Amino acid sequence: MDYQAVLEEVAAFARPLVGRGQAAQYIPALADVDPAQFGMAVADVDGGVYGVGDWRRPFSVQSISKAFALALVLAEGGNKIWERVGTEPSGNAFNSLVQLEYENGIPRNPFINAGALVVTDRLQTLTGDASTTMLEFLRAESGNPDVAFDPVVAKSEAEHGDRNAALAHFMASYGNLDNPVSTVLEHYFWQCSVEMSCRDLAVAGGFLARHGLRADGTRLLPRREAKQVNAVMLTCGTYDAAGDFAYRVGLPGKSGVGGGIVAVIPGRCTLCVWSPGLDSRGNSVAGVAALDHFTTLTGWSVF
């Protein structure tokens, strides 16, 4: 496969959509990002890395961090996390409170905010420092020691974090958090604030395409848990648009309101696309279109 040629063609296809949609407005530090940017990278399982456009420019990973947090909890603590968070798509917005009361404080899945707060709580208990654990992992897996938190974004989220605080307090009232709400929120915001490029994220997500093997060949996840992360990405990774994403792209994927999406072709490669303009459900407009075109051109959707 000539990845570079495919990426050039995909970028040309997506170009008319770049700038469509809106950068996330509810986090002021993200609202100012220029929506007219686009990058895409592929990291294949043999170590090849290819990119197009703004693929080396760092952006706010936001909810893409939720996939790494889940993997780290499964690696450290095994399957016990599934007693505290479900594996079903929510069909509701990523920051919705509505299902929590019916389901006794157990979030539907680890990729909506409520579920990610539970995962962060568990990572904090297992490691004593959830956000630093994730940062070190992302630096090691991407091979980029400059991967860092963005304190401006973390502060902006904390200052406008009433919804996440409400979710955390509500779950705490059901006994589904072990650590203080303030601790869980702090680590969650730091994780969301990490800045990485498409290149960094595609490389760091390589273990998902390698059935759980890290970049250095050691095992992060047993094959079963690696399969679980990919499966939940497919069914829940793009929030209430997961059905549409599966139908258009047909890959496990995890998006973030920074405009990035990581997608996995198990056994072949990990992709990352970025364009800050979001649709109404918080997914990158040009990013989803680019991934749709990529799997159409290559025939490499999981379907």
Interacting residue ranges for ligand GLN, rule: CB under 6 A: 62-63, 94-95, 113, 157, 164, 192, 256-257, 282
113 known member of a binding site:
yes
Minimum Å distance from CB 171 to ligand GLN?
14
Q: Which residues share a beta bridge with 254?
A: 262
Q: Would you please indicate which residues are annotated as catalytic (active-site) residues?
A: 63, 66, 188, 239, 257
Distance between CA atoms of 212 and 224, rounded to whole angstroms? 9
Nearer to ligand GLN, 6 or 29 (CB): 29
239 known member of a binding site:
yes
CA distances to 76, 122, 201, 211 from 128, rounded to whole Å, are 12, 10, 25, 27
| Nearest residue relative to ligand GLN (C-beta) | 63
Nearer to ligand GLN, 39 or 212 (CB): 39
Q: Order the strands of the 39-44 sheet from edge to edge.
A: 49-53, 39-44, 269-274, 260-265, 253-255
Minimum Å distance from CB 283 to ligand GLN?
9
What backbone phi and psi angles, to 5 degrees, belong to 38?
-155, 135
The residue count for the chain = 303
230 known member of a binding site:
no
193 known member of a binding site:
no
Nearer to ligand GLN, 23 or 208 (CB): 23
Give the residue from 286, 226, 224 showing the smallest Cα distance to 255.
286
> Which residue ranges are tagged as binding site for substrate?
63, 113, 157, 164, 188, 239, 257
Binding-site annotation: residue ranges: 63, 113, 157, 164, 188, 239, 257
